[in-house]
Amino acid sequence: MADASLRTVEVHSQPFSFAGRPLLLSIINDITPGRLSDQGLWHYQSLLEAQVADRVQAANAARQREQTLLIVGLLLQAGVIVLLIFNIRRRKRLERAHDALTRAVSEERQRLVDILWGTGAGTWEWILDTGHMRVNSQWASLVGRAPETLAGLTESQFRDFIHPDDLARYLAARRRHLDGESPAYECDLRVRAGSGDWIWVMDRGRVVARDTHGYPLRMAGTWLEITGKKQYEDKLRLAASVFTHAREAIMITAVDGTIVEVNDAFCRITGFDRDDVLGRTPKVLSSGRHDEDFYALMWQALNEKGHWEGEVWNRRKDGELYAEMLTISAVRDNHGNAPYFVALFSDITDQKQHQRELEQYAHYDMLTGLPNRLLLSDRLRQAMALALRRGHRLAVAYLDLDGFKAVNDTHGHAAGDEVLTLLSARFRLALREGDTIARLGGDEFVALLVDPGEPAAMQTILQRLLDAAAAPLEWKGLQLQVSASVGVVYFPQSTPVDPDALIQLADEAMYRAKMSGKNRFYIAPAATT
């Protein structure tokens, strides 16, 4: 107001239009007196409203606290429930894990039992402070005893099953382990089986419990029968001894021909050291005397029959040729394959030389080196058969020296031997290739003339023999002179004859020549018919 006082008024306004202009009509009423009377009421109302607001605020705060407590309680309850659920699940997991572990332990125990049963191993346990032993049924079976009879078995009774010759070795090996000198105990022993026989077992064990001072309390182990293994090892040792000390050479090759092992005799016979040939092939011994067909037939026999045997010429390290009697055998596995071959051979060079000497003694004249009567008969028999088969003729000439006895009587047997030797060489040169000159003994010779040809050709050969015999001989500065009488028969004869009969006919013809004046030949008339 103008006096700067404040009045409470009530205003009512209404817009309207006048002379085209928008105007606002306001009516103002002074309500100060009434308002003053209401202020007291408003004051109390304000106080009441403030109290109500405080009460409402307090109630809201209380309700908020209750809600908070309720929420906290619910959260705690939920946490407890979650914890309970977690603990329940954890317990179930632990129970499942425990069950699984129990099953695993049970399965492992059963697996070990099955393994021990499958291997046939007997188990033993030694309680050192009491001296008692515990064994399983497999152990009892090894010694042929019922398990119930071994209850209360003592260590000394345990030792009674061991062979007396093995007991000291057993105790020494066990003591070394008990004293900590070996990580485990192991010993192969002979033990008495239920049958009364001694069987081999492999005894293995170790200390499984010690006291705080390290003293052994308990020891456990197994027995595993190895009788078959020991027998096999004995066979291997025997085979190795035979391989090493055999007089025959032994060579083992792989399927590709590579040499994988040789013995001492191989080195002695061939001159090669073991390291010289390992990894190489048998071609290192090749002499070159056998062609590819020879080795092809050898391999054919090996592939078809699994073995081959025969004589082979090979070469030593120093280049010397030698003969060997060779046997090759395939070593087959369980599938029938042959991964290895074993060659066994001996040096037969001296034997073959001796054989040649025996053949020489049996078939050749020792003085002149000419075939003897035995070899002549064999060659004559073959020549007669061939002549009959081919329709050819052959001739047998029987030679007897004239004047040879006088040489022996005058100059001695040494001069006579020299005459025989020199004449033998001349007779060889007088004959054709394929003919044979043999000495029957003394001063008698026989010539086998294969397919002598026409009579003129035959006579030429006979004349060469006469000339060879009659030519002068020199011995120790002396000139010696002999000649020959020759009787000849042809084959086939008009009647069947054998070699000896044919020679006899030639001998008779020779006497005809000698009776006719010597130093000549006589052809039996019957041979020309």
Q: What is the CATH number of the domain that holds 507?
A: 3.30.70.270
Q: Are residues 377 and 510 in the same domain?
A: yes
**Spatial distance between the Cα atoms of 436 and 450, rounded to a whole number of angstroms:** 8
CATH number at residue 209: 3.30.450.20
Kindly state whether residue 371 falls inside one of the protein's structural domains.
yes
- Which residue is listed with tokens 């060997």? 324
Rounded to the nearest 10°, the torsion over CA 379, 380, 384, 390 is 40
Query: Higher model confidence: residue 355 or residue 175?
Result: 175
pLDDT mean over 289-305: 91
User: pTM of the prediction?
Assistant: 0.53
Q: Which residues contact 351 (CB under 8 A, 6 or more apart)?
A: 323
**Spatial distance between the Cα atoms of 165 and 173, rounded to a whole number of angstroms:** 14
pLDDT at 8 (0 to 100): 67
Kindly state whether residue 255 falls inside one of the protein's structural domains.
yes
Whether omega for the bond prior to residue 492 falls within 30 degrees of 0, making it cis, is: yes
Q: Are residues 291 and 423 in the same domain?
A: no
Q: Are residues 313 and 438 in the same domain?
A: no
**Spatial distance between the Cα atoms of 309 and 348, rounded to a whole number of angstroms:** 14
Kindly state whether residue 12 falls inside one of the protein's structural domains.
no
Which amino acid would we find at residue 253?
T
Query: Higher model confidence: residue 153 or residue 29?
Result: 153
Q: Are residues 371 and 504 in the same domain?
A: yes
pLDDT at 2 (0 to 100): 62
Closest listed residue to residue 404, CA positions, set 488, 518, 487, 513: 518
Structural domain harbouring 279: 246-352
Kindly state whether residue 138 falls inside one of the protein's structural domains.
yes
Q: Which residues pair with 506 in a beta bridge?
A: none
pLDDT tens track for 145-166: 999 999 889 999 999 999 999 9
Q: Are residues 385 and 510 in the same domain?
A: yes
Kindly state whether residue 501 falls inside one of the protein's structural domains.
yes
Q: Are residues 372 and 475 in the same domain?
A: yes
Q: Are residues 375 and 504 in the same domain?
A: yes
Rounded to the nearest 10°, the torsion over CA 495, 498, 504, 509 is 40
The continuous run of DSSP H or E covering 190 comes out as strand 185-192
- The answer to whether residue 41 scores a pLDDT higher than 60 is no
Out of 297, 319, 352, a domain closes at 352
- Which residue is listed with tokens 């027998």? 231
Q: Are residues 379 and 516 in the same domain?
A: yes
pLDDT at 270 (0 to 100): 95
**Spatial distance between the Cα atoms of 146 and 138, rounded to a whole number of angstroms:** 10
Q: Are residues 210 and 262 in the same domain?
A: no
Eight-class DSSP state of 364: B
Kindly state whether residue 469 falls inside one of the protein's structural domains.
yes
Closest listed residue to residue 185, CA positions, set 199, 202, 168: 202
Out of 352, 374, 399, a domain closes at 352
Q: Are residues 287 and 311 in the same domain?
A: yes
> DSSP string covering 250-274, please?
EEEEETTS-EEEE-HHHHHHH---H
pLDDT tens track for 426-477: 999 999 999 999 999 999 999 999 989 888 999 999 999 999 999 999 999 8
Tokens encoding 200: 């081999």
Confidence of residue 506 (pLDDT cuts 50, 70, 90): very high
Q: Are residues 251 and 333 in the same domain?
A: yes
**Percent of the chain residues topping a pLDDT of 90:** 58
Q: Which residues contact 449 (CB under 8 A, 6 or more apart)?
A: 394, 395, 396, 397, 431, 432, 435, 458, 461
Kindly state whether residue 53 falls inside one of the protein's structural domains.
no
**Spatial distance between the Cα atoms of 176 and 174, rounded to a whole number of angstroms:** 5
Q: How many domains does the chain have?
A: 3
- The answer to whether residue 397 scores a pLDDT higher than 70 is yes
Q: Are residues 167 and 301 in the same domain?
A: no
Out of 182, 206, 231, a domain closes at 231
**Spatial distance between the Cα atoms of 161 and 154, rounded to a whole number of angstroms:** 12
Kindly state whether residue 76 falls inside one of the protein's structural domains.
no
260, 252 contact by CB (below 8 A): yes
Closest listed residue to residue 443, CA positions, set 474, 409, 400, 482: 400
Confidence of residue 16 (pLDDT cuts 50, 70, 90): low
> DSSP string covering 443-496, please?
TEEEEEEES--SHHHHHHHHHHHHHHHHS-EEETTEEE--EEEEEEEEES-SS-
Closest listed residue to residue 436, CA positions, set 510, 356, 382: 382
